[in-house]
Structure 1
């Protein structure tokens, strides 16, 4: 996965590059890079602002011949707006001459950033899959760090997310100090929710990066947006989000190619056709599907755990269902700030999890996931992430050969039937679970 760029440097770079004339100016000077007549003091050959104005005007009007009026308007804009801004950031230096003021690039770290250089190689976005106006809107929307945090948070979600839930995830991500969702105050969430709804989400939606329904109050990443396939976004600016979008696309493609061959191993249930709505809100309800076989079931469990961003709940019936790979993924989830909850009636399982994942909340459930008293040994293995991905495992050990038959049903999406059932049975707040499983305030816990 791509490493996230430095936040302050990225914000400054986007603020600079969101203005088209500044992109044209920098691209023009970069063409002169390395040919400086004043070796060691500038990174490009000095150029008069008047000459720069002519070059910028030709790019702006996409014409090799421009009028004096066009050049004059650009010249005024450069002198009074763009050159001072670039000088203030240290990317440009002014060199006083006998005839006119000239400028040259400096050895500024922003100009050495790979994604910036890639973008300035094509300042008008000719190779961009959308119009230059959309390019400008994309840069403007992303220059706020919170908007980038929104994209990164949504990349780990499947389907539409309520804005309030997204706000909590953004607050935790911005804290970058291990803050858990349960530690975030309602006041913080309300403030961020308002900022998202009135500022960041409309800008990201206008750029085509998210699909935001202000009436249903839901938002999801626009994974089909062409921006996610652009090099300077995918390899630098929003590498984390682009990596997750690409991985999700590859999984969908792989499922489409192999689904027919899997037959009984992974059987999809009846679901709406692509583009149809599965509920009244207009948000697509993903299908439920069944899995057969230990390998397929564990692979799906690992996928859900790896994709968790905020909460991960797992119920483990006994030690036979507890694998080292599971513990590693739960610890990895905890390391990236996910609140991990593990329930089991097995003392061995609870002790193992406490040792391997010390920050996890380990519970002894008094009821199974359907709130019936547990009697059977194998009551089911539940994996539940971010209230939008769920898997319920069943184990049949009545076969004559003694080999247990393992199967599962799984689904994604807030409106998915299985996800909704698990949400209802676990209750609205996983952080209410306690290590003893006792009631709190006289009310039984969801477990």
Structure 2
């Protein structure tokens, strides 16, 4: 059972829940799930949504219906009518939401980077955001796969478009068959076997890193397996952007010797 403080932190750090509450607090009669999804996809507060390929509207509707609105209802912040697919902000909790909104505004003023760090809760969301980063990259794109299970030919057009724009594409892949896949499909890319000492840990340690995508050394998505030993592990991810974002800066610091001096790595012919 989450404490009120834990719920507040989760809402402040989750742009979807935060925006849902902000939008509903400004409507008298509530909104349908489809109306909410449309407003969320137009919101600047949801990073990566406008750039995501293959309109994410239906994905957002499903996410609202099955995860965000039921959670907000459980926390007594929203009244959600599943039969009518309508949501309204709870009258009893308007004061709570005002406090959350004030806290978020203060955090944003004190630390702009806080607004640029979010959480993704499914493998599909991670795929969509990683592809959006590939489409956003202007100079260089670093891709690290720690599991060949994530290889997806549907991602290749995004990588190829980036290369065609003149983006320098590097793929660090631990698995030999995955490296072969990249060298065959993307001959212009630099593919190598990265040193993994900075992420390796006990096999049963949870969570375990699944992938890292870094665009222009300022936008990143870091995926993690919730339970890497499960037959079909679920994936969550941290998304961060901005040169001054602490997470982006930390990843640059960790990867610096590896991504800056690729000529010291052994390329795959």
TM-score relative to the length of structure 2: 0.56
* 1:418 paired residue among 216, 238, 247: 247
1:134-149 correspondence runs (5 A): none
- Aligned mates of 1:407, 1:275 — CA distance in 2: 24
* 1:380 paired residue among 210, 221, 237: 210
- Aligned mates of 1:301, 1:391 — CA distance in 2: 7
- Aligned mates of 2:219, 2:243 — CA distance in 1: 8
* 2:181 paired residue among 352, 355, 368: 352
- Alignment check: 8 A CA contact 1:412 1:419 kept: yes
- Alignment check: 8 A CA contact 1:288 1:410 kept: yes
Q: Which residue of 2 aligns with 1:296?
A: 125
Q: Which residue of 2 aligns with 1:313?
A: 142
Q: Which residue of 2 aligns with 1:432?
A: 261
* 1:343 paired residue among 154, 169, 172: 172
Question: Which has more strand, going by share of residues?
Answer: 2
- Alignment check: 8 A CA contact 1:315 1:382 kept: yes
* 2:152 paired residue among 318, 323, 327: 323
Q: Which residue of 2 aligns with 1:263?
A: 68
- Aligned mates of 1:293, 1:387 — CA distance in 2: 24
- Alignment check: 8 A CA contact 2:221 2:239 kept: yes
Aligned residues: 180
Q: Which of structures 1 and 2 has the bigger CA Rg?
A: 1
| SS of structure 2 residue aligned to 1:273 | helix
| SS of structure 2 residue aligned to 1:427 | helix
- Alignment check: 8 A CA contact 1:389 1:411 kept: yes
Q: Which residue of 2 aligns with 1:78?
A: none
* 2:219 paired residue among 389, 394, 405: 389
- Aligned mates of 2:228, 2:256 — CA distance in 1: 30
- Aligned mates of 1:310, 1:355 — CA distance in 2: 23
- Alignment check: 8 A CA contact 2:142 2:171 kept: yes
Per the TM alignment, residue 319 of structure 1 is displaced from its structure 2 partner at its CA by 2.0
- Aligned mates of 1:303, 1:363 — CA distance in 2: 23
- Aligned mates of 2:139, 2:170 — CA distance in 1: 11
Structure with larger RCO (C-alpha < 8 A, sep 6+): 2
Give a deviation string over 1:119-152, Cα, whole Å, max 9, x none: xxxxxxxxxxxxxxxxxxxxxxxxxxxxxxxxxx
Where does structure 2 lack aligned partners over 5 or more consecutive residues?
Answer: 1-40, 50-56, 71-100
* 2:44 paired residue among 225, 239, 252: 252
Give a deviation string over 1:67-126, Cα, whole Å, max 9, x none: xxxxxxxxxxxxxxxxxxxxxxxxxxxxxxxxxxxxxxxxxxxxxxxxxxxxxxxxxxxx
| SS of structure 1 residue aligned to 2:118 | strand
Distance 1:311 1:272, change over 3 A: farther
Distance 1:263 1:310, change over 3 A: same
Where does structure 1 lack aligned partners over 5 or more consecutive residues?
Answer: 1-248, 439-447
Distance 1:254 1:375, change over 3 A: closer
- Aligned mates of 2:44, 2:232 — CA distance in 1: 32
- Alignment check: 8 A CA contact 1:383 1:392 kept: yes
Per the TM alignment, residue 250 of structure 1 is displaced from its structure 2 partner at its CA by 3.6
Distance 1:375 1:330, change over 3 A: farther
- Aligned mates of 1:409, 1:284 — CA distance in 2: 13
| SS of structure 1 residue aligned to 2:253 | helix
